[in-house]
Amino acid sequence: MVRRPVPAGLVVAAVAGTLHAAVSAYWGLGGDALLETLGRRVVEQFADARWVLLVVAAVKLAGALVPPLLARRGRLGRGWRVLCWLGAAVLVLWGGLNTVVGGLVLSGVIDPDGGYDRPAMVGHALLWDPLFLVWGIALALGLRAHARSAR
């Protein structure tokens, strides 16, 4: 089996995704720190089903670790490349849009009807969504670097 160096972008993406996964797992196992940053409505809705966060954590962890592990083995197959690029696009769009909108709400440029959950907005605008954005950008850069090195 060929072992290739893993592009730095894929390593950064793996770290960002693993952090996201670790927090989801922590909450799924009953941890409460920073839980208010998810939003009061979400916390109430899943109060009796926090185990769902363990599934979310597993998906995040797979999304974080599969790309660099496959890259290390050599070429990514077409299906994996497409899936990874789609994941990067979703992460960049989701993280980028929510970071910008959250920042606009917190700065008063957008004033939502009925107000907003400030701890949740701060968490999303300044922590969770920027981390999604970093994950997505790093994944895209890592995939690009991997494709160039495979030529």
Is position 1 within any domain? Answer: no
In sequence order, the 6+-apart residues with CB closer than 8 A to the CB of 144 are 9
Torsion, Cα 131 135 138 142, to 10 degrees, reads 170
Is the pLDDT confidence value at 45 over 60?
Answer: yes
State mean pLDDT over 32-41. Answer: 95
Is position 18 within any domain? Answer: yes
Taking the model in full, what pTM does it have?
0.93
Is position 123 within any domain? Answer: yes
Range of the domain at 105: 8-150
Is position 25 within any domain? Answer: yes
- Give the tens place of pLDDT for each residue, 49-78: 999 999 999 999 999 999 999 998 877 788
User: How many domains does the structure of the chain reveal?
Assistant: 1
pLDDT confidence bin for 38, thresholds 50/70/90:
very high
Is position 2 within any domain? Answer: no
